[in-house]
Amino acid sequence: MSSIISVANLSKTYGSGFKALKNVNLDIQRGEIFALLGPNGAGKTTLISIICGIANPSEGKVLVGGEDIQASYRKARSLIGLVPQELHTDAFESVWATVSFSRGLFGKPKNPAHIEKVLKDLSLWDKKDSKIITLSGGMKRRVMIAKALSHEPQILFLDEPTAGVDVELRKGMWEVVRTLQQSGVTIILTTHYIEEAEEMADRIGVINKGEIVLIEDKATLMQKLGKKRLTLHLQGKLGALPESLSHYELDLCDSGATLIYDYDTKGERTGITSLLSDLRNAGIRFNDLDTTQSSLEDIFVDLVRTS
Ligand SMILES: Nc1ncnc2c1ncn2[C@@H]1O[C@H](COP(=O)(O)OP(=O)(O)OP(=O)(O)O)[C@@H](O)[C@H]1O
């Protein structure tokens, strides 16, 4: 895959002197769904605003489809559809008029067939003549997506697409996003919901305090999540591990009172049975044991705490 967005050494300092982005480097691949995770105030909206040409960078460069977002603003911007966090539409206009008007803003000639396809893809076709004010919250969100797609962009930004939305509606939205990806659109979404990133994304990026602290394929991340930890609370303290256990990757902690063994739940063998038998043979006894599994949430919380 080739990159459709390339962000290099991007920094943003607001007028107040606040540094909202610090040397961000990020490439978005054509056709992928990329989820940008981060706590409140991490810089997600600032990053999206700069890529979409709404805010200016203090330093660095952004290319969209090979076009510089500042030097070739109109060309670069026409490749992007943006669905902002806040829903703002003219309450008394019809769905059809609202979506068609958005296309006009990009200077594109009328194309009723495209607007019809977008409304059908988003299950809004039977609402095309309804006034926005009469729609449910979920439908209004879909109108916002239809507006963003009206000028046939190659890239769609969804800023917190399911914030404050109930579970049913969130799942419906995921379906919509998948359909859009299948139609060839590259999607970048920001979210607070780890579950959403886990469910939707091909790659996940984590931003904290203006810095990208992780970018990883979801599959690789999930593999890391397949690890489990067995903790054995020993009866007596152990000075060192006996030679007979040296082929296990064990950690002796708590001044020799706890033994830790990490294993792969997806591996062919976990090694637990033989470890327990070798421990018995070595005369090492324990009072208790527990197992824990790390989740994307743990990784996220850890990253955000330590960075
Ligand atoms: N115009 C501005 N002037 C000064 N500081 C700003 C401005 N806009 C945003 N900030 C600050 O920059 C930081 C990043 O804000 P941003 O909105 O990008 O975060 P976010 O990750 O999108 O947060 P949220 O998840 O809450 O939407 C915040 O501390 C915010 O207060």
User: 172 and 32, same structural domain?
Assistant: yes
Q: What is the pLDDT, as a whole number, of residue 195?
A: 79
- b/e map 180-195, b = 16+ CB within 10 Å: bbeeebbbbbbbebbe
The domain that holds 290 is classified in CATH as 3.30.70
Q: What is the pLDDT, as a whole number, of residue 295?
A: 66
Instruction: Indicate whether this complex's ipTM tops 0.85.
Output: yes
Instruction: Report how far residue 142's alpha carbon sits from residue 231's, in angstroms, rounded to the nearest whole number.
Output: 48
Please work out whether the CB of residue 43 comes within 6 Å of at least one atom of ligand 1. yes
Q: Which of 44-53, 162-171, 257-266 has the lowest mean pLDDT?
A: 162-171
For residue range 83-119, list pLDDT tens digits in order: 988 777 778 899 999 999 999 888 889 999 999 999 9
Last residue of a domain, one of 198, 223, 248: 223
For the chain, give the mean pLDDT: 89
Per the listing, tokens 């970018």 go with: 215
User: 280 and 195, same structural domain?
Assistant: no
Give nearest CA residue, ligand 1 atom 30: 41
Ligand 1 atom at shortest distance from the alpha carbon of 85: 27
Q: What is the pLDDT, as a whole number, of residue 161?
A: 82
More confident residue, 163 or 281: 281
In single-letter form, the type of residue at position 201 comes to: A
Q: Total domain count for the chain?
A: 2
3-state percent helix, strand, coil for the chain, nearest multiple of 5? 35, 30, 35
Tell me the mean pLDDT in the region 220-246: 86
Tell me the mean pLDDT in the region 270-274: 89
Q: Which long-range contacts (CB under 8 A, 24 or more apart) does 164-170 make?
A: 165/137, 165/138, 165/141, 169/137, 169/138, 169/141, 170/196
Instruction: Report how far residue 100's alpha carbon sits from residue 2's, in angstroms, rounded to the nearest whole number.
Output: 31
The string of DSSP codes covering 266-305 is TSS---HHHHHHHHHHTT--EEEEEEEE--HHHHHHHHHH
Per the listing, tokens 């299948």 go with: 182
Q: What is the pLDDT, as a whole number, of residue 1?
A: 53
Q: How confident is the model at residue 193 (pLDDT cuts 50, 70, 90)?
A: confident
Best mutation site among 40, 45, 85 for ligand 1, i.e. most ligand atoms within 8 A of its Cβ?
Answer: 45
Print the domain residue range for 151. 3-223
User: 231 and 153, same structural domain?
Assistant: no
Query: What is the 161 CA–ligand 1 centroid distance (Å)?
Result: 18
Q: Over 60: is that where the pLDDT of 51 sits? A: yes
